[in-house]
Amino acid sequence: MSGRTRRCHPLVTTHQGKTPYDLAAKRKEGAEMSDPILTKLRQLNRNDFQDLVALGTFSSYENRVFLAGPCNIGKSSLASILIGEEIPKTWISTDGLIIHFGRNGIDLQQRKMIPLKKGSGDVLTKLLLGNPELKKQPSLQGESKEKIPGDPKSEIKEYKFSSSNTDGGPSNKKRRITSRQTSSGGQGQLSHQSNQETPKDFHEPPIHTAHSIQDDLLEKIKKGTNIMNIAPSDLVDFGGQKSFDMTHQLFIQHRGTFILMFDGRKGLYTVLTEYPQGDVTAASILEHWINSVLTYCNKTEDKMPRILFAATHSDSFSEDEKRILALKFNEELREMFSSHKLHEHIMYDNVFFMNATDAADQDIERMKDTLVDIAFQQSTWGQQMPIVWVPLDLQISDMRADGVKLITKERLLEINKSNNEFALNERRVDDFLLVQHSIGKLLYFDEPALRDFIVIQPTAMVNILRAFITDIMFWPEKGPVRNILEHLSSTGVLKKTDLFTLWSQPAFKEILTDVKTKEYVVQVLLHLDILIEPKRYTEKDTAADLFLVPCIVKEKIPQKMHRNVTDDRTICIAYHLKETVVPSALSFKLIGAAISIWPLKVEDSRFCLFFQAAIMDADKRNELQIHVEGQRIIAYLNNDVSKQLISPDLATTTQECLTLALGRILQFYRRCFGKQSHHLMSDLFDIEVGEICNGKTCLIPLSEAKKKAQWRCENGKIHETKCPLNWVFEKNKKHCDSNCKGLETETLVLRPDDQHFVQLARTIGIGDFYNFFIELGMEKADYDNLNFRYFSNPMDFMLMGLFEWRDKTESDQMTATFRKLQTALKAIERQHYMCQVHREDHTLVEKAHSRLQDVPSDDVINSLTEKKLIGDCIVHLGVELGLSIGNIKETMHNFPRDLNGQIHDLLTKWKNCDETKMVKPTIYRLMVALKRVKAAQGLNFVKKTYDVE
């Protein structure tokens, strides 16, 4: 080997864009591996070994086994057997999850799974195992190394490793340190740009030169060669409480094997008493895990990850009973998963029925053999990794052992530069980090808001999550922390300030040392759907100050609320997702988009946020429900009287919000998992619209509904498409089509409400109002009296006229109906004005945001009146705020000839109103009311006060 080749970059790409770690080696059986490595390492001189580090590759044998399923079934007992520890005799619930790094091994020669002692999976062991060899690479065109300032030979000193506590990482304290060197630049401690505190006694990680790596490898060889045939792998033991369902997503890699377990005594369909929310079975939990693991897997020839099933407590049955039950479980699992679109990943035909407390159990032995066979079948088994990564890998391993949990990317790049001739450029560091992330050794997300930090100790994230995602059995007995957790548990909503309070506890302070680090972790949790930020998914979204926490919400929607969805009062729209199962968090992302506009309904002092469902108050007359049912997401709009009275503007605005959000969310998910983004929403989902028929959803494809006036459902009932098509109404349409027949017969018999009068008055105008008023049966004297009192505001004048007509009609024991209004309009040849009566202005929806769902402050209410920012529109303003005409008249009586007093009283009544039918008085609703009464100055003041662009 020539020293001149030393500066060729080891991670060059081929003409096909491949790097060495992309090129998988042929699978090796492990035989005849040890002697060539020993001979090679002993014969290499110092310069040769330096070339090996710079230009060589080694075969990587990474494997990971995951244990998952309900709680209290023996997962931790099986984990103890697989890592060679004492088997627990009593159940101690796992709080979150436990990762056993490098504690489970595969003997490559014997093809057997064996337990390993702590520290067996360190970097040098894997290098020895991987048969390192030199492969000359051409230089990457246009790529050159940055020159490291100073003479490295003059800046080295012997490194002494400090003894400090570790946190679950590989222990390398006793490693021989003979040839290690570190720069003497005066930085003895790791200094983060964010002023993050560092653990006591932590020193700068050492520079790992080719000489030091060779010495350390030879030291390992002297201690015994048996390690070189064992591929260390990791074991992840997931806690079974429902609280942890979503947080487990963080630790699921699409490599390795999942063992989904359940209690053989209870089977798949017994309701599990460990879950107080009820209705939880082993089958439902296993189905959740299948969907979590496989949702974003591509349908390719690579069958990883693989999923096995194991039933426990076999010692409770005789051999014959075990055989019969095993066949039953196989059949039930086949029925559940044989039709899954990715069923080839699921090994449902072979349930391992075991005693998880018996290390000699034969089914455990069979399962271990199966795990080894699967490991050897992985496309990544024996994958070639660059040896030049080893120095940086060793430095991260040293920091991990020294108690460091997180590090800034900037600091890691500085450490990398200290490796002098083996320093990687920044793009190659990214390659290294992404591969390490993919095998679960660290957490690095190559996203704009996330790439500034690296979590080098993944178990630290477990502790961070435990702060707010934990089972009630782990809560403190009393105090502010318990109060926060109780509120979160009952509502599913967590304020950002409360989250930071939880993280200020001593157990988390060491990890989350400053605001910048906390903000980074928040962004990670948002990225992984553990937290859901209510937002519209528009270009102008800004950060929210509260989050939804999907995994906390366990309660299903009560039947009494389901009953609000009825044949005569509801229209629905359904999104049928293509090529995927609905992710657990997708429904909450969609709900988050909706509650940016409409607040969650409150029933019995509880937010109506449920497992895969939510109910919102669209206004005082309409309720919006969102449900996830299998691969369909269904939204229901319920009017408190009739579906005929649902505003097409409200329905269309809702549809546009949901469609935009759903499309953006699905495209984001696809990008995250390497799939091409679709440009058309139709590539992601189909849309159906419909109604409720005999208590069940009755749908028709939207494309067909647009072509038909009617359709016949499977119940034989004829449905009109007019109401369902309100989901896609043309909002800019101001006039009727030439073939318009007016309102439906069902609508004409209904009673108009105050909001209908507003739209009717706006459409008629003052010029036509006198004739219309007289045709309603009113007298000229009535008109004159109204004009005398309300002459200053034509809208208030017309509204009070319509209210007076309604009062007079109903005092004569008749019903004020749309038909009577229609008849009067027809008499003045304005009958199509009635077709506009359901229209509403929802243009401010573009400004909607979760922070605008707060109640406006008293200062804002006072300023609107003191600064005279609203004007003369008492009646109209009261109606837009949702107050009754009785409340409006009371205000006018109590504050005669006092416009400011009237406006202030109306706003105060609205803000403090506790009527049953009133919805939450929010900043957004105030903005909408001010826009509809054309109080431009007031609207601009509110927008400026609450920083609305």
Q: Which residues pair with 386 in a beta bridge?
A: 57
pLDDT grade for 821, boundaries at 50, 70 and 90: very high
Query: Do the domain assignments include residue 264?
Result: yes
Q: Do 650 and 580 sit in the same domain of this protein? A: yes
- Same domain (yes/no): 361, 251: yes
| Same structural domain, 302 and 272 | yes
pLDDT 10s digits, 130-180 = 555 544 444 433 343 343 333 322 222 222 222 233 333 333 333 333 333
Q: Are the beta carbons of 348 and 339 closer than 8 angstroms?
A: no
Asked whether 418 and 186 are in contact (CB, 8 A), the reply is no
Tell me the mean pLDDT in the region 598-603.
Answer: 81
Q: Flag whether pLDDT at 331 surpasses 60.
A: yes
Share of the chain above pLDDT 90, in %: 23
* The pLDDT of residue 735: 78
pLDDT digit string, tens, across residues 488-516: 877 778 888 888 888 888 777 777 878 88
Q: Where does the pLDDT of residue 344 fall: very low under 50, low under 70, confident under 90, or very high at 90 and above?
A: confident
Q: What is the mean pLDDT of residues 909-929?
A: 83
* Both tokens assigned to 246: 């979503």
Confidence class for position 665, pLDDT limits 50, 70, 90: confident
Average pLDDT value over all residues in the chain:
75
Highest mean pLDDT of the ranges 1-10, 97-106, 127-136, 764-773: 764-773
Last residue of a domain, one of 694, 728, 762: 728
What CATH number has the domain bearing residue 813?
1.10.533.10
Question: How many domains does the chain divide into?
Answer: 5
Here the tokens at position 647 are 């505003």
Beta strands in 618-727 (DSSP E): 622-629, 632-639, 685-693, 696-701, 710-712, 718-720
Last residue of a domain, one of 399, 434, 455: 455
- pLDDT for the residue 778: 92
pLDDT score for 97: 66
Confidence of residue 59 (pLDDT cuts 50, 70, 90): confident
C-alpha separations of 198 from 164, 206, 402, 526 in Å = 12, 16, 10, 26
What is this structure's pTM? 0.65
Q: Is residue 687 part of a domain?
A: yes
Most confident of 174-188, 233-247, 476-490, 765-779: 765-779
How far is the C-alpha of 116 from the C-alpha of 170, rounded, in Å?
A: 12
Q: What pLDDT band is residue 773 in, cutting at 50, 70 and 90?
A: very high
Do 305 and 389 fall within a single domain?
A: no
CB 260 within 8 A of CB 240: no
Residue 321 has a pLDDT of: 92
pLDDT of residue 300: 62
pLDDT at 681: 59
Please give the structure tokens belonging to residue 264: 């053989």
Residue 147 lies in a domain: no
Has residue 945 got a pLDDT over 80? yes
User: What per-residue confidence (pLDDT) applies to 228?
Assistant: 52
DSSP notation for 155-193: GEEE---------SSPP-TTS--TT-EEE-SS--S---T
Segment 827-831 shows an average pLDDT of: 89
Q: Report yes or no on 515 lying in a domain.
A: no
Report the pLDDT value the prediction gives residue 171, as an integer from 0 to 100.
35
- Answer with the one of 377, 409, 433 that is the final residue of a domain: 377
State the Cα torsion 201-205-211-217 to the nearest 10°: 80
Whether residues 371 and 424 share a domain: the answer is no
Query: What domain range includes position 568?
Result: 550-728
Instruction: Outline where 627-744 has alpha helix (H).
Output: 648-672, 702-705
Whether residue 399 is found in the same domain as residue 438: yes
Position 192 pLDDT exceeds 60? no
pLDDT at 86: 83
What pLDDT does 628 receive?
Answer: 82
**Pair 108, 128 in one domain:** no
Higher pLDDT, 532 or 636: 636
- Residues 614 and 752 reside in one and the same domain: no
Q: Which string of b and e fits 456-476 if b means at least 16 CB within 10 Å? A: bbbbbbbbbbbbbbbbeeeee
Q: What span, in angstroms and rounded, lies between the C-alpha atoms of 541 and 192?
A: 30
Burial (CB < 10 A; 0-12, 13-18, 19+), residue 771, is middle
In a domain, 388, yes or no: yes
Lowest mean pLDDT among 273-282, 633-642, 656-665, 927-936: 273-282
Query: Does 13 lie in the same domain as 36?
Result: yes
State whether the Cα torsion 694-700-706-710 is positive or negative. Answer: negative
Residue 887, in any domain of the structure: yes
Q: In this model, does residue 183 exceed pLDDT 80?
A: no
pLDDT-based confidence at 271, cuts 50/70/90? confident
**Please, is 398 exposed, middle or buried when counting C-beta atoms within 10 Å of its C-beta (0-12, 13-18, 19+)?**
buried
CA distance 315 to 313: 5
| 86 within domain boundaries | yes
The pLDDT tens digits for 721-745 are 999 999 999 887 777 777 777 788 8
Please tell me the distance from the alpha carbon of residue 648 to that of residue 663, in angstroms, as a whole number.
22
Q: What is the CATH number of the domain that holds 295?
A: 3.40.50.300
Top pLDDT among 36 and 210 is at 210
In tens, the pLDDT along 366-408 reads: 999 999 998 888 877 877 777 777 778 888 888 887 888 888 9
Residue 586 lies in a domain: yes
Does residue 664 share a domain with residue 707? Answer: yes
Same domain, yes or no, for 920 and 931?
yes
Q: What is the mean pLDDT of residues 677-704?
A: 82
555-594 pLDDT per residue, tens: 778 877 777 788 889 999 999 887 655 566 677 777 777 8
Q: Please give the Cα distance from 921 to 710 (Å, whole number).
A: 39
Rounded Cα–Cα distance for residues 587 and 696 (Å): 21
pLDDT tier at 240 (50, 70, 90 boundaries)? low
Closest-CA residue to 35 (of 131, 106, 112): 131
Q: Is the per-residue pLDDT at 119 higher than 60?
A: no
191 and 283: one domain?
no
Strand-pair category, 622-629 with 613-617:
antiparallel
Maximum distance among all Cα pairs of the chain, rounded to whole angstroms: 116
pLDDT at res. 491:
78
Strands 64-68 and 181-183: unpaired
Q: Which two tokens stand for residue 709?
A: 């006036």
Task: Please give the Cα distance from 355 to 371 (Å, whole number).
Answer: 18
pLDDT above 70 coverage of the chain, percent: 73
User: For 45, phi and psi rounded to 5 degrees?
Assistant: -80, 180
